[in-house]
Structure 1
Amino acid sequence: MQKSKILAFLLALVVSIVLWFYAVTVVNPDDTITISGISVQFEGTEALTSQGLMLTGGDSTKVSIKVSGRRSDLKELNNETVTAIADVTRIAASGSYQLSWSVVWPSTVATGDISETSRAPSRISVTVSDIKENPEVPIELEYTGEPKTGYMIDKSNLTLGTQSISVRGPAEEVNKIARAVVRVDVTDADALIDTDCPVVLLDKDGNELSLSQYVTSSADSVRVTIPILQYKDIKLNATLISGGGATSEDAEVTIEPSTLRVTGNTAVLDAMADELTIRTIDLAQITGTETFEVTPELPSGVTSRADSQTVKITVTLKGLVTKEFTVPTANILRKEAPAGMTFADQNVKITVRGRASVMSTLRMEDLTVTADFSRHYDAAAKQVELEVALPANVSAGVIGGPYTVQVSLSETDGGNTES
Structure 2
Amino acid sequence: MKYLHIRDARVIAPAQQLDAVCDLYLAEGRIRAIGQKPAGGTIESTLDAQGHWLVPGFIDLSSYLNEPGYTQRGTIASETRAAAAAGFSQLCAQPLTKPVADSPAVIQLMQDKAGSAGYSRVLPLGALTQGLAGEQLANMVSLRNAGCIALSNARQPIKDSYVLRRLMEYAATYDILLFLSADDAALSNGGVMHEGPTATRMGLAGIPETAETIALAQILLLVEQTGVRAHISQLSCARSVSMLNDARQRGLRVSGDVALANLCYTDAQVNGYNSRYHVLPPLRCESDRQALLAAINNGELAICSNHQPHEIAAKKAPFADAAAGMAMYDLFIGLLLERVNCGELTLHAALSALSSVPAATLGLRSGFEEGQLFNASLINPQQQDSYGRSGQVVATFVEGFKVFRRQP
Superposition TM-score, scaled by structure 1 size: 0.16
Q: Which structure has the higher relative contact order (CA within 8 Å, separation 6+)? A: 2
Q: Flag the structure with higher strand content.
A: 1
Superposition TM-score, scaled by structure 2 size: 0.16
Q: Flag the structure with higher helix content.
A: 2
